């Protein structure tokens, strides 16, 4: 368990990316403005984190028109869901180790 920290995925190092993925893994598709509101992020901040997750192939994008308005939605890919689960499992293992160490 010595090298457990190496199992953490750097793509999820930032709290905003954790938030994005947390929302996307439990929803089929989420609109850009919904993510922006839920996470209280600026357009530029949200866009940069989405781009990083897209570059890692952890999210996919759907662009369409609703009436005459463009709408962009996001979903977690299977690879993104698997990577996020591994990341969360590792965090949980680290927390368990820390809690067990408190008992000493």
14-79: CATH number: 1.10.10.10
29, 31, 36, 42 alpha-carbon torsion, rounded to 10°: 120
Q: pLDDT value at position 2?
A: 65
State pLDDT tens for residues 11-33.
Answer: 999 999 999 999 999 999 999 99
State pLDDT tens for residues 61-70.
Answer: 999 998 999 9
State pLDDT tens for residues 30-64.
Answer: 999 999 999 999 999 999 999 999 999 999 999 99
Supply the pTM of this predicted model.
0.89
Q: pLDDT value at position 98?
A: 86
For the chain, the farthest-separated pair of C-alpha atoms sits apart, in whole angstroms, at 63
**Every domain of the chain and the residues it spans:** 14-79
C-alpha 61/C-alpha 86 separation (Å) is: 23
C-alpha 76/C-alpha 29 separation (Å) is: 8
């Amino acid at each position: 368990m010595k090298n457990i920290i190496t199992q953490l995925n750097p793509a999820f190092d930032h709290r905003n990316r954790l938030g994005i993925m947390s929302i996307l893994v439990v929803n089929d598709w989420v609109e850009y403005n919904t993510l922006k509101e839920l996470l209280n992020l600026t357009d530029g901040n949200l866009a940069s984190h989405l781009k990083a997750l897209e570059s890692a192939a952890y999210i996919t994008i759907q662009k369409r028109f609703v009436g005459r308005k463009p709408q962009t939605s996001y979903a977690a890919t299977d690879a993104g869901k698997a990577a996020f689960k591994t990341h969360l499992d590792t965090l949980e293992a680290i927390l368990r180790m820390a809690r067990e160490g408190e008992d000493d």
